Amino acid sequence: MGFIIDATLIAFLALIAISALRRKRLFGMVMLSGAFSLVAATLFLVLDAVDVAFTEAAVGAGISTVLALATLSLVPAEEKPHSIAIVPAFLALTTGLLLSIAVSDLPEFGAADAPIHNHVAPEFIIGSEEKIGVPNVVTSVLASYRGYDTLGETVVVFTAAIAVLLIIGGWTRRETETAESTEDDHAG
């Protein structure tokens, strides 16, 4: 049963991705990328990664789609026609092939003796209860054990926002007001 659900979801993902690639109109592409994120969130949920699924649904399917839609009103409605770039296509296909080959070397999904479950993970799972007292291990790792990383992530978000605001101007209000008053002057 689990296999059927996984396979269906992955088939959906592939279908949505191919469909988005073949589309000409950008609006359809944006909506499909939102749908892709939603299906990916479901897949994470099936894999028991609830926090990741939550983030994917809120950020990927929600806010990213809205921001992409807001961008759409600034750009033409259709993609520019272009031919297939051979070198990037070759690079992408080769990397994909190599990765698929490498997957066979991975330990079985959920195997208890996999290296990832025997390094620091047991300490986090036991210590989270004893030393931090937080039932959600993801939160205790994110905010306490790996506090530096989360601080770094927050600073990345901060920097990205400052950069975007500097480029496309979060301070258009004054300019808009000047433009409005010029228009009023003309009208008057």
Partner 1 sequence: MQDDPVIRVIAKVLIPTMMLFALYVQFHGDYGPGGGFQAGVIFAAAFILNATVFGLNRGRHVWPARLNLLGVALGVLIFGGTGVATMVLGENFLSYNALSDDPIAGQHLGILLVEFGVGLTVAAVMVALFFAFAGRVSHVRLLNKTRAHEKTLAEKAKGAAND
Q: Which residues bind partner 1 (CB under 8 A)?
A: 50-51, 53-55, 58-59, 62-63, 66-67, 70-71, 73-74, 131-136, 138-140, 142-144, 147-148, 150-151, 153-155, 157-158, 160-162, 164-165, 168-173, 175-176, 179-180, 182-183, 186
User: Which string of b and e fits 9-32 if b means at least 16 CB within 10 Å?
Assistant: beebbeebeeebeebeebeebbbb
Residue 47 or 142: which CB sits closer to partner 1? 142
CB of 53 to partner 1, least distance (A): 8
**Least separation in angstroms between CB 166 and partner 1:** 10
Return the number of the residue (58 or 91) whose C-beta is nearest partner 1: 58
DSSP assignment of 147-181 equals HHHHHHHHHHHHHHHHHHHHHHTTTHHHHHHHHHH
- Residue 73 or 104 having the CB closest to partner 1: 73
Closest contact distance (angstroms) between CB of 17 and partner 1 is 23
* Shortest Å distance, C-beta 161 to partner 1: 4
Look up residue 162 and give its amino acid: I
Picking from 158, 168, 175, the residue whose alpha carbon sits closest to that of residue 67 is 168
Of 107 and 152, CB closest to partner 1: 152
Closest approach of partner 1 to the CB of residue 56, in Å: 10
Q: Which is nearer to partner 1, 17 or 51 (CB)?
A: 51
Q: State the SS3 of 11-64.
A: HHHHHHHHHHHHCCEHHHHHHHHHHHHHHHHHHHHHCCCHHHHHHHHHHHHHHH
β-bridge partners, 25: 78
